[in-house]
Structure 1
Amino acid sequence: MMIYLDSAATAPMRKEAVAAYAEAAEKAFGNTQSLHDAGSAAADYFVSCRKLWAEFLNVRPDGIYFTGNASEANQLAIRSLLNGRPTACRQIISTKLEHASVLSVLHELEKNGYTIDYIDVDRFGQVDMTAFEQAVDEETALVIMQLVNSEMGAVQPVKECTQIAKRFGVPLHSDIVQGFGKLPVDIGSWGVASAVCSAHKIGGPKGVGIAYLDPSIHWQSVYEGTTHQNGFRAGTIDVPGIVSATIAAKHAVIEQPQSYDHARSLQDYLLEHLPDGVIATGDIATKSPFIQGLILPHVEGQWMMLDCNRAQIAISTGTACKIGYGEAMSAMLAMGTEPDTARKFVRISFHQAISTRDIDEFIRVVEKSLAEFTPSS
């Protein structure tokens, strides 16, 4: 049986979420836009799910929207907020540690005349708050600040960034995909303009993203003429998927303190037993314990990933959404890591079922691989 150490890419689906999908697919198969009873039943499920997500995030239900995935949710939220901003505001502030879905839309927006100001981060991936505060002004259109980096788990001070941005009336968008259900999250008290979650990172189904847009903030639809979900996203609503995602989120929120403590204990155990020469990235005191970025002494990450796979251990060399395009490399370079060193990066990530025995087996394979693949060979 495979030891699965890649939950940051996707988590095993919870049995409760599978059961919820099956039940909703049978009972709520109608189109929420239809006026007959089958449509009304589906709409009732949809409304209930919005209310529950609003409770999870401490926000208003009318600010909750559902998409096909978190990547789409990021792009729609960012573009919708920008569409509602004054045309004179053309500066966007972010960092190079964002998810691929955010970095790609920033690249597109730069071609459309926006100036992207990437704030530096330190060697632990922490944003330079002095530089950030100096960068924000009245001409800033949007701040984009991810809560938890998906490569090494660096946690950004989203609440503090939001407070600074608000001094100038600037909205802040936060990708909280790797934080929701794992760290304490309170979007309402933080005051962010928009936030994005992903169902399949917390044991829900793939194909469901969750977006929040503050109803008090002006935004404009990306899709002209769309009526679904107040114009935020076109297309028939996937009610069974949303129900399944909501049940997964409910369990993740309830279990969050216990899950965090479990991940911290696994992180402590891993660091105590790391093979000689293997370096853990990030600030252990402040990072998410669910994500462990490791730099190997003399073996490339791709080699180690394949070696682990042969031993039935699943790890990664970085974010699955951009494998082959160097997102981990981009994050490492932003933190000041040399390119040759960045190529020796691997990531492991935890879920509730992982035990110290699984960590032992991973370490055994790493030690064996490092010993076999010596620098002289």
Structure 2
Amino acid sequence: MERLIYLDNAATTKTAPEVVEAMLPYFTEHFGNPSSVYGFAAANKEVITRQREIIADTLGAKSNEIYFTAGGSESDNWALIATAEAYASKGKHLITSKIEHHAILHTCEYLEKKGFEVTYLDVDENGIVDLEQLKSAIREDTILISIMYANNEIGTIQPIREIGAIAHEHGILFHTDAVQAFGQVPINVDEDQIDMLSASGHKLNGPKGIGFLYIRKGVKIRSFIHGGAQERRRRAGTENVPGIVGFGKAVERAVSTMEARTKKERELRDYLIERIEKEIPYCRLNGDRTKRLPNNVNFSFRFIEGESLLIMLDMKGICASSGSACTSGSLDPSHVLLAIGLPHEIAHGSLRMTLSEETTKEDLDYVVENLKEIVSNLRSMSPLYEDFVKKQK
């Protein structure tokens, strides 16, 4: 393949060279188990503490409120299940939205089987939660509201600060899945009144297999993984020292580059959106036009199948997706696109492209030229498109 243009950074990002460099010594030279008492190994406990401080500072949190996990899905599971168990005597009602990541939705389904009740909020055509509906959904027995910071498919950013205020006004805990937002937008847990927050390393040029759950001091949720005293007795298992070091380095890098990086991404994002809307007919931008992640572009193209589009783009060296990488094996249309009101046949023709700091205008010009040709070719084979054109005449 002569050319590779990677536009699936919402699925995962390339680990930055300086992150890899920071991690390497902890595989070979400083390989000790942080729980061991001798100095050679115990030094790694200090290293972990330093990474906790780096991450906490980014969020306006305290270092002892950061708990390392294996990734965003574990953090989401922990936040919901442990909260449900710990606060069951107060109530058994949770509130979330219909466009959450499946790590939230499937965990809610699990809790429903355990006797909990879950309200799934609707979203508008741009994917934004209705705050009045949220207020109306709150009950005496509501113990948790979990709304994602930004959607992984359509990039829409939720009114998190307002949601946090509503939750706290009613004495309800507030969790947000910030896997896509962390490192892309500024977040302050106190200003946003967030009690728990999930994040993952590989979404911001860090390593895979490492994440964290922020748990505000005073939130009484239990351990999720049992067996040892690690993570202040809340998450057993030998710490992933190289992963934690890599995550800390990736967070430092993301924070220091955020302003310039996201400014460039927004400019390229808007350029790509403008070209597609002008040059490819019968397409729809999914997600809010302005309240969206800096690097997210999601379109639905009428009269085509998204799977065919992805395959043909891949043949041109262009990596994109039709939605979440966690559901790429599914033939069902995106639950997010259905929730914002798209009919099945249009939701099936969706394409998500997520940019990075390495994406160039030339890359996007190449993508648009190929996209125009591919969409035109696929439509030429579609009887639905043929009927549509005849009716237009």
- Work out whether the TM-score is over 0.5: yes
1:22 pairs with one of 2, 21, 24: 24
SS of equivalent to 1:190: coil
- On the 8 A contact 2:200/2:211 being kept in 1, the answer is yes
Q: Does 2:355 align with 1:350? A: yes
Partner of 1:109: 111
- On the 8 A contact 1:260/1:289 being kept in 2, the answer is yes
CA deviation profile, 1:300-325 (whole Å, cap 9, x unmatched): 11111100100010000111012123
Q: Does 2:339 align with 1:337? A: no
Structure 2 distance, partners of 1:323, 1:371, is 24
1:100 pairs with one of 75, 99, 102: 102
- On the 8 A contact 2:227/2:237 being kept in 1, the answer is no
Partner of 1:239: 241
Amino acid at match of 2:93: Q
Partner of 1:369: 374
Q: Does 2:59 align with 1:54? A: no
Q: Does 2:274 align with 1:288? A: no
Structure 2 distance, partners of 1:58, 1:27, is 33
Partner of 1:190: 192
Partner of 2:273: 271
Which sits farther off after the overlay, 310-319 or 69-78? Answer: 69-78
Structure 2 distance, partners of 1:236, 1:327, is 38
Partner of 2:390: none
Q: What is the correspondence of 1:204-283 to structure 2 with a 5 Å cutoff? A: 204-224=206-226, 226-274=228-276, 275-283=280-288
SS of equivalent to 1:216: coil
Amino acid at match of 1:41: A
Structure 1 distance, partners of 2:99, 2:294, is 17
Q: What is the correspondence of 1:131-146 to structure 2 with a 5 Å cutoff? A: 131-146=133-148
Partner of 2:391: none
Amino acid at match of 2:188: D
User: Over the residues paired in the alignment, what is the CA RMSD in angstroms?
Assistant: 1.5
- On the 8 A contact 1:182/1:256 being kept in 2, the answer is yes
Q: What is the correspondence of 1:11-90 to structure 2 with a 5 Å cutoff? A: 11-90=13-92
Percentage of pairs with the same residue: 29
Query: Cα distance 1:170–1:291, how it changes in 2: closer, same or farther (>3 A)?
Result: same
Structure 2, unpaired ranges of 5+: 387-393
Structure 1 distance, partners of 2:339, 2:137, is 18
- On the 8 A contact 2:204/2:250 being kept in 1, the answer is yes
> How far 1:138 moved relative to its partner?
3.0
Q: TM-score normalized by structure 1?
A: 0.96
> How far 1:184 moved relative to its partner?
1.5
2:365 pairs with one of 341, 360, 369: 360
> How far 1:326 moved relative to its partner?
6.1
Amino acid at match of 2:341: G
> How far 1:365 moved relative to its partner?
1.4
Structure 1 distance, partners of 2:26, 2:226, is 31
> How far 1:344 moved relative to its partner?
0.5
Structure 2 distance, partners of 1:326, 1:286, is 29
Q: What is the correspondence of 1:312-323 to structure 2 with a 5 Å cutoff? A: 312-323=317-328
> How far 1:41 moved relative to its partner?
1.1
> How far 1:80 moved relative to its partner?
2.1
CA deviation profile, 1:9-36 (whole Å, cap 9, x unmatched): 0011111101011123234311111101
> How far 1:109 moved relative to its partner?
0.4
Structure 2 distance, partners of 1:328, 1:117, is 22
> How far 1:224 moved relative to its partner?
4.8
Amino acid at match of 1:125: G
SS of equivalent to 2:199: strand
Structure 1 distance, partners of 2:227, 2:273, is 54
Structure 2 distance, partners of 1:372, 1:331, is 27
Q: TM-score normalized by structure 2?
A: 0.93
SS of equivalent to 1:43: helix
Partner of 2:201: 199
2:7 pairs with one of 5, 8, 15: 5
Structure 2 distance, partners of 1:90, 1:217, is 17
- On the 8 A contact 2:226/2:235 being kept in 1, the answer is no
Higher-Rg member (1/2): 2
Query: Cα distance 1:322–1:163, how it changes in 2: closer, same or farther (>3 A)?
Result: same
Q: How many pairs are equivalent?
A: 377
Which sits farther off after the overlay, 321-330 or 84-93? Answer: 321-330
Structure 1 distance, partners of 2:32, 2:191, is 36
- On the 8 A contact 1:228/1:235 being kept in 2, the answer is yes
Structure 1, unpaired ranges of 5+: none
> How far 1:327 moved relative to its partner?
7.8
SS of equivalent to 1:35: coil
Which sits farther off after the overlay, 21-30 or 11-20? Answer: 21-30
Query: Cα distance 1:34–1:326, how it changes in 2: closer, same or farther (>3 A)?
Result: farther
> How far 1:181 moved relative to its partner?
1.0
SS of equivalent to 1:66: strand
